[in-house]
Amino acid sequence: MKVGNKDFCVKFFTMKNFIALCLLFSGIYAQAQIVSGTVFSKEENKPIPYVKIGVEREKTGTISDENGHFSIDLSQTDKSHTIRIEVAGFESYTQAVSDFINNSAPKIFLKEKVKNIQEVKLNPKKFVDKNWGVNTKTKSVLYSVNPEFRKEDFLGETALEFNASKRSKIKNINLNVANYNSDRPVIMRYAIYSEKNGFPDQNILEEEITVELTEDMIKSGTFMLDVNDYNIWVQGKFFIGIQFLKEFKGRVNISAALFRTGFIRKFYGDWERITLAAPAINIDVKVDKNGKNKKDEMEDNNEKLSMLAPDISQYKDESGNSIYGKNEAVGKTLKLKDAELYYEVYGEGQPLLLLHGNGGSIKEFYKQIPELSKHFKVIALDTRSQGKSKDYTRNNLSYKIFADDLKSLIDHLGLNTINILGWSDGGNTGLEFSLKYSENLNKLIVIGANAFPEGVEESLLNNFKTKVQVLQLENNPDHSNEVRLLKLMINEPEISKKSLNQISNPVFVIAGENDVIKKGHTEMMAKEIKNSKLKIYKKASHYVPFEVADELNKDVVDFLKN
């Protein structure tokens, strides 16, 4: 029986019948494109054993041997895809498959990760011992590891889901082994994955956990791996995965629980959910009895959090499929000395500048442009370093810089006065523009804007700070712009109440009832801006332009025309 993508055999034994279910893959012959090489530690210039070498989004891969050597057949892979080489404790290495093939006998150097070692001060706590997972020791339902059955499928990976309501430390990872028959130690790797959309996501281990399993290590049908010294703390959903790294002659049968859900994948292929049976992996943990119960916390805040961060995937897909932000017929670029600003113009009449939020682009106004361009000359701008606009500096970003960019654009277009509709960060830029260039502004509409960082929900602000710390530890140049954008929201704007008092232009202050901008902060802004109008949209979140587009468009037209 084909179940996912693993050499997975489930056997049912009764007095009268025998049923075997085994996963099979069909092979396709092709002229081999085999690449061989060695993986080294960059710092120590020593080979790294048991490194995972595979093609992203595919099931092709191999494991380096104990000396870091590997060979991989890339004849059946998509040459536009990417080779990924990784092992716990080191930064991942990626390269286009086509370039990798052309690199004869490559030497791959992996950079050791900077470990996130933080001083943890623990108050005296009471811990309680628990065991979670699949404990069955049956020999009737088995997860069968048999390298000789089909070698090309041997190196897949299986995982089991866990959920810790309170902060817990993993002491032991247990594997219930029904039968062990091997001519040599069986080399296994353990991984602990975070959860995303119900599937395993990122390996959270900072150190490689590899074991050479022998029969005498299995006591009473269980192999117990002591991981206490790895200091692994978990809370919420997570997965424990196992992978066999080196071929052996024989077979290892792991007990499995019938109709429990397990997860399997082959190399960097997608994880698949298997409802037929799950391997008998269980863990011994110490649970912080006095710690906050994550489940209880979430139950109290679930409704609010779901409204603060709703599922906007539908809107993202729709905006991505729209013409806006990539309309070559109307798109133009203004070149500045240190940046390029991409913008699109629609309609005729009084100019209305649309400014998107942090990390966004013109396309996010896909529900506004068609309607507003019937009444105004709509100029939609990709802010510096976002969308199709470029920033040639590495300096910190600021809303004042964005406001100056906007002034350069309207000067370029020969406009004396404009209206601005700014959403989120775009609203912050609009406020800065009104303070510096009030003579060039007619009316301002801000949606989900804030005058200073403390106006943002604290949980979200803390999330930004944590993400910056993680990205800085990774030290990946590809993430430098993301770090700048996050820092912008953490540190800015810095508009005082006194400055808000100085805004003389008419301002329409808008937010959702469940916005990530605190309601009191939005009300404060409207109060301090003398010539302002306030509207809180019922049942809406920070994504007012998506969620209540028709009502918003009508309100914008009424405000600007009356």
* Mean pLDDT of successive 10-residue stretches along the chain, which has 562 residues: 36 35 32 83 92 90 92 90 91 90 86 60 68 90 73 75 91 95 94 92 91 95 95 92 90 86 88 85 90 49 54 88 96 97 98 97 98 98 97 95 98 98 98 98 98 92 83 82 95 96 97 95 97 96 96 98 92
Taking alpha carbons only, the member of 491, 501, 536 closest to residue 515 is 536
What pLDDT is attached to residue 125? 57
CA nearest neighbour of 223 among 178, 183, 160, 184: 178
pTM of the model: 0.51
Q: Determine the topology of domain 314-561 in CATH.
A: Rossmann fold (3.40.50)
Q: Is the peptide bond before 493 cis (omega within 30 degrees of 0)?
A: yes
Q: Which residues pair with 128 in a beta bridge?
A: 287
Domain range annotation of the chain: 34-110, 127-293, 314-561
Hey, what long-range contacts does 475-480 have (CB within 8 A, 24 or more apart)?
475/114, 476/91, 480/394
- CA trace torsion 70, 212, 58, 115 (10° rounding): -90
Q: State the Cα–Cα distance between residues 478 and 411, nearest whole angstrom.
A: 33
State the pairing for strand pair 157-182/222-226: antiparallel
Domains 34-110 and 127-293 share a fold: no
Q: Using DSSP bridges, classify how beta strands 9-13 and 52-55 pair: parallel, antiparallel or unpaired.
A: unpaired
C-beta of residue 285 within 8 angstroms of C-beta of residue 170: yes
Q: Which residues contact 154 (CB under 8 A, 6 or more apart)?
A: 7, 145, 146, 147, 244, 247
Q: In sequence order, what are the beta bridge partners of 390?
A: 340
Interatomic CA distance for residues 262 and 287, integer angstroms: 24
34-110: in CATH 2.60.40.1120: yes
- From 3.30.1490, 1.10.287, 2.60.120, 2.40.50, which CATH number describes the 127-293 domain? 2.60.120
